[in-house]
């Protein structure tokens, strides 16, 4: 990072102001086809503010969210306790939501959120045609459509579309820089100039006006182009992995075929057994397979999440097949 800063004559920002950050904000906004962007220290802050303003602008506090939305599952009810908006549950918990499900809501929504891809259900994406239908309906009905684009880079590769085509039709978007991009942290909120200006004031009110953001921006900016260029290769490696996983009929993937370069793998053992096998793999073979197995709906079943990136890209099919076989051998007694 220091060498990159020296090579590019980078100066630290002051409260988010400076050429480094403004240039990066303009670049990301341009990639996704928005007028403006604002670097934000967390996606939690970005999305709470975005949906608050969206509902306020339409005089309607109701925001339609899928049951698996990050806002609902991982943000400690901030939207509710801080009075940002009121949540409406939208769609089937196990698949992407549709325009018909939005139309079927008994209450009119001021805003709707779509996560692309949907992390909590294995990285699923709605069909491209269905997504465009959602965009058209929200525009016709004056519903603010917000994109949870924490992994939108992966979604673009999954669709085989440029980023601005994926984001077209959304009124605002949030993107993350520490997941697929591999930065230290940070996010960006994107939208119209006036929307971003008002959002910036709200993020100050909520404690997001960090004195210097340049380390986070540098960590993302120095590798953004390279990471985006690698996304199609990650997707292809995911397809290769699916072919190898087909050898294990008791293991089930969600989705059934890859939508992007992530998946959930369901195992016919409980969570504790899966985690113990993970630890044994690490101890005996020096391989760390996954972060944490989670409980599944059925007893004696669990699932793990795999993000396919550089680690799997660097391994041959034969090496991956050997690793899977070793893992299967550890699970077999259970």
The dihedral built from the CA positions of residue 125, 126, 132 and 134, taken in this order, carries a sign that is negative
Single out the residue of 189, 212, 150, 192 nearest to residue 49, CA to CA.
Answer: 189
Q: What is the pLDDT of residues 17-33, one digit of tens each?
A: 999 999 999 999 999 99
- With a CB cutoff of 8 Å and minimum separation 6, the contacts of 87 are 62, 63, 65, 71, 72, 79, 80
| pLDDT of res. 34 | 98
Q: What is the pLDDT of residues 202-248, one digit of tens each?
A: 999 999 999 999 999 999 999 999 999 999 999 999 999 999 999 99
Measured distance CA(216)–CA(237) in Å, rounded: 29
Residues of the chain with pLDDT under 50: none
The dihedral built from the CA positions of residue 99, 105, 111 and 115, taken in this order, carries a sign that is negative
Residues constituting the chain = 334
Element (H, E) at 49: helix 43-57
| pLDDT of res. 63 | 98
Decide if domain 2-222 falls under CATH 3.40.640.10: yes
- With a CB cutoff of 8 Å and minimum separation 6, the contacts of 101 are 90, 91, 92
Measured distance CA(50)–CA(171) in Å, rounded: 10
Element (H, E) at 141: none
Percent over 90 (pLDDT), the chain: 99
Burial class (CB in 10 A: 0-12, 13-18, 19+), 205: exposed
CA angle 199, 99, 143 (to 5 degrees): 30
Q: Is 61 helix (H, G, I), strand (E, B) or coil?
A: coil
Q: Where in the chain is the domain with CATH 3.40.640.10?
A: 2-222
Beta-strand runs (E) in the chain: 36-40, 62-65, 86-89, 111-115, 144-149, 172-176, 187-191, 252-254, 262-267, 294-295, 302-307
Measured distance CA(202)–CA(22) in Å, rounded: 19
Q: 227-331: what CATH class? A: alpha beta
Q: Where in the chain is the domain with CATH 3.90.1150.10?
A: 227-331
Measured distance CA(329)–CA(216) in Å, rounded: 42
Q: Residue 304, Cβ neighbours under 10 Å: how many?
A: 20
Measured distance CA(322)–CA(54) in Å, rounded: 50
| pLDDT of res. 333 | 84
| pLDDT of res. 321 | 97
């Amino acid at each position: 990072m220091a060498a990159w800063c020296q090579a590019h004559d980078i100066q630290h920002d002051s409260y988010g102001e400076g050429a480094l950050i403004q240039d990066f904000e303009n670049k990301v906004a341009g990639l996704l086809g928005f007028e403006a962007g604002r670097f934000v220290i967390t996606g939690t802050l970005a999305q709470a503010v975005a949906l608050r303003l969206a509902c306020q602008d339409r005089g309607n506090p109701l925001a339609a969210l899928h049951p698996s939305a990050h806002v609902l599952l991982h943000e400690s009810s901030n939207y509710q306790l801080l009075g940002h908006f009121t949540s409406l549950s939208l769609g089937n918990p196990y698949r992407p939501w549709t325009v018909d499900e939005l139309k079927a809501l008994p209450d009119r929504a001021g805003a709707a959120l779509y996560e692309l891809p949907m992390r909590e259900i294995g990285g699923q994406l709605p069909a491209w045609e269905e997504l465009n239908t959602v965009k058209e309906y929200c525009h016709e009905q004056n519903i603010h459509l917000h994109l949870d684009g924490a992994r939108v880079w992966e979604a673009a590769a999954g669709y085989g579309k440029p980023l601005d085509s994926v984001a077209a039709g959304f009124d605002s978007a949030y993107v993350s820089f520490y997941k697929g991009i591999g930065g230290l942290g940070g996010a960006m909120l994107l939208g119209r100039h006036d929307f971003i200006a008002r959002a910036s004031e709200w993020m100050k009110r909520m404690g997001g006006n960090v004195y210097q953001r340049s380390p986070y921006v540098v960590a993302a900016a120095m590798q953004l182009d390279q990471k985006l260029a690698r996304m199609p290769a990650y997707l292809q490696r995911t397809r290769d992995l699916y072919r190898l996983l087909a050898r294990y009929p008791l293991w089930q993937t969600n989705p059934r075929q890859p939508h992007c370069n992530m998946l959930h793998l369901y195992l016919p053992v409980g969570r504790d057994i899966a985690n113990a096998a993970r630890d044994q793999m690490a101890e005996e073979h020096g391989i760390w397979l996954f972060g944490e197995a989670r409980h599944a709906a059925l007893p004696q079943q669990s699932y793990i999440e795999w993000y396919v990136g550089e680690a799997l890209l660097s391994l041959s099919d034969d090496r991956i097949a050997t690793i899977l076989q070793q893992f299967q051998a550890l699970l077999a007694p259970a």
